[in-house]
Amino acid sequence: MPELTSVVVAARRRGLARELAEALRTGPFERALRLAIRSRGLTLERIRVRLLERGVRTSLASLSNWQRGRCRPERARSLQAIRELEDILGLPADSLLTL
């Protein structure tokens, strides 16, 4: 049974990777961000801490609102957070910014 479980997990990861690649091409921003976060398996709190370690202060509420599509990052500080997020999430540079 463990072999079947690993096959299912691998298939889900491939499906998620395809979904993420498509979302990075076509958007919308919130879908791409949500999928990128899910694919890395990070919580919003962990992302906030990693941003803080890089000198970028962002609230949990902002991160949540961005991934839910309630608002989009527009200010210079928010756009810097997105640049750092791309790196933290292992995304190509400017992949989220262009959305």
Q: How far apart are CA 62 and CA 44, in angstroms?
A: 10
Q: Is the pLDDT of residue 76 over 90?
A: yes
Measured in whole angstroms, the distance separating CA 7 from the mean position of its chain's CA atoms is 25
pLDDT score of 15: 80
pLDDT score of 5: 66
How would residue 96 be classed by pLDDT, with cut points 50, 70 and 90? very high
Q: How far apart are CA 85 and CA 91, in angstroms?
A: 8
What confidence tens digit (pLDDT) does each residue in 46-71 have? 999 999 999 999 999 999 999 999 99
User: Cβ distance 91 to 24 under 8 Å?
Assistant: yes
90 φ/ψ angles, rounded to the nearest 5 degrees: 70, 30
